[in-house]
Amino acid sequence: MRKTRIVALAGGVGGAKLAHGLARIDAEGLAVIVNTGDDFVHVGLNISPDIDTVLYTLGGIANRAQGWGVEGESWAFMDQLARLGGPDWFRLGDRDVALHALRGERLRRGERLTAIVADLAGALGIASAILPMSDTPVPTIVSTPQGDLPFQDYFVRLRCDVPVTGFRFDGIERARPTPEALAALGSPALEAIVVCPSNPYVSIDPILSVPGLREAIGNAGAPIVAVSPIVGGAAIKGPAAKMMRELGHAASALGVARRYAGLVDGFVIDHADSADAEAIHALGMAVLATDAIMRDEDGRERLARECLDFAGRLGRRT
């Protein structure tokens, strides 16, 4: 019987790294609730970018240089796809395709994404629970002055090279948290909830927008600690800072903290952003300034331990 001690909320690369650090501390006690807003079907394959990055990272097979995809990946599938006239803007490695094909087959049979991901995690030797935020597809739609775009069109095909005016999560009103995610959040052993340094708009917001999930997180009783994905005014990876500016917010740790005000008890920033500490504190959060950049696997574990210690000092919510 699994006793969840830690719940992490995560998107892709940065979230997966901190989740990996947490798994190195207590693999069996960790449940990661992962964004599925990026999920899409491409060339008939069911792709869940954030879940896959978490699976590959915790499974120890992620490409270390780029953070996503499989280490030592090969590209014969893509070469042939291009030769056959297929789309080439989304790069799918040969090993990666195996996961998408297997998942697609089971989804079309009517299986739940949660059950499929649990089997994949088991096959990769992952002891932590990798939990989709919902079994209902909730595709992120990016609003731009030129109209609405599916997320991967914006993110990969257009390389984020259009300004955003907003986001919506299509069908979110019909989505439900999974029993597994609610059970993890209801664990009597729960000691901390960690909001990983993922994009607040397109990684964490989708999770918090699943009806009932934000409430379950807030009511879990464990201290909630978030790690800023913005360091020194820039995103460690990805378009978070660009999005913040385009939406009229400060591209700063403080800007991220403002989005989490009312939910989060403690906020972790980098030393580079110490000047924001007072203003973040004024939002009603404790602040921990540390080295918020995870340079290697030891760095992941170090930051994870600091988050857990920070949560421990904050104590249980009432």
Among 124, 127, 250, 272, binds a copy of itself (CB under 8 A): 124
d(CA 205, CA 214): 10
Judged by beta carbon, residue 107 or residue 183, the one nearer a copy of itself is: 107
- Least distance (Å) between residue 86 CB and a copy of itself: 5
In the region spanning residues 89 to 108, those forming contacts with a copy of itself, defined by CB under 8 A, are 93-99, 101-102, 104-105, 108
CB of 44 to a copy of itself, least distance (A): 3
Q: Whose Cβ is closer to a copy of itself: residue 87's or residue 315's?
A: 87
Contact between 70 and a copy of itself by CB under 8 A: the answer reads yes
The CA-based dihedral angle spanning residues 316, 28, 310, 257, taken in that order and rounded to the nearest 10 degrees: -90
With tokens 């270390």, the residue in question is 64
Q: Taking CB under 8 A as the rule, does residue 113 contact a copy of itself?
A: no
Which 73-92 residues touch a copy of itself, going by CB under 8 A? 73-74, 76-81, 83-86
Nearer to a copy of itself, 125 or 315 (CB): 125
CB-nearer residue toward a copy of itself: 117 or 277: 117
Count Cβ atoms below 10 Å from residue 254 Cβ, excluding itself. 22
> Closest separation between CB of residue 60 and a copy of itself, Å?
12
Kindly provide the b/e burial profile for residues 86-109, where b requires at least 16 CB atoms within 10 angstroms of the residue's own CB.
eeeebebbebbbebbebbbebbee
Q: Closest distance between a copy of itself and the C-beta of residue 76, in Å?
A: 4
Number of residues that bind a copy of itself (CB under 8 A): 35
| Closer residue to a copy of itself (CB): 115 or 160 | 115
Q: How far is the CB of 50 from a copy of itself (least distance, A)?
A: 18
| 110 forms part of the interface with a copy of itself (CB under 8 A) | no
Side-chain-side CA neighbours of residue 135 (13 Å): 18
Dist. CA 293–CA 148, nearest whole Å: 33
Specify the residue, 82 or 261, whose C-beta has the smaller distance to a copy of itself.
82
Sign for the CA dihedral angle at 93, 96, 102, 103 comes to negative
Structure tokens at 147: 């109209």
Stretch that binds a copy of itself, among 37-45, 176-184, 227-235, 238-246 (CB under 8 A): 37-45
For the bound state, the minimum distance from the C-beta of residue 94 to a copy of itself, rounded and expressed in Å, comes to 4
Q: Which stretch binds a copy of itself (CB under 8 A): 69-77, 192-200, 251-259, 261-269?
A: 69-77
Q: How far is the CB of 28 from a copy of itself (least distance, A)?
A: 20
Q: Please give the residue ranges that form the binding site for a copy of itself (CB under 8 A).
A: 41, 43-46, 70, 73-74, 76-81, 83-86, 93-99, 101-102, 104-105, 108, 119-120, 122-124
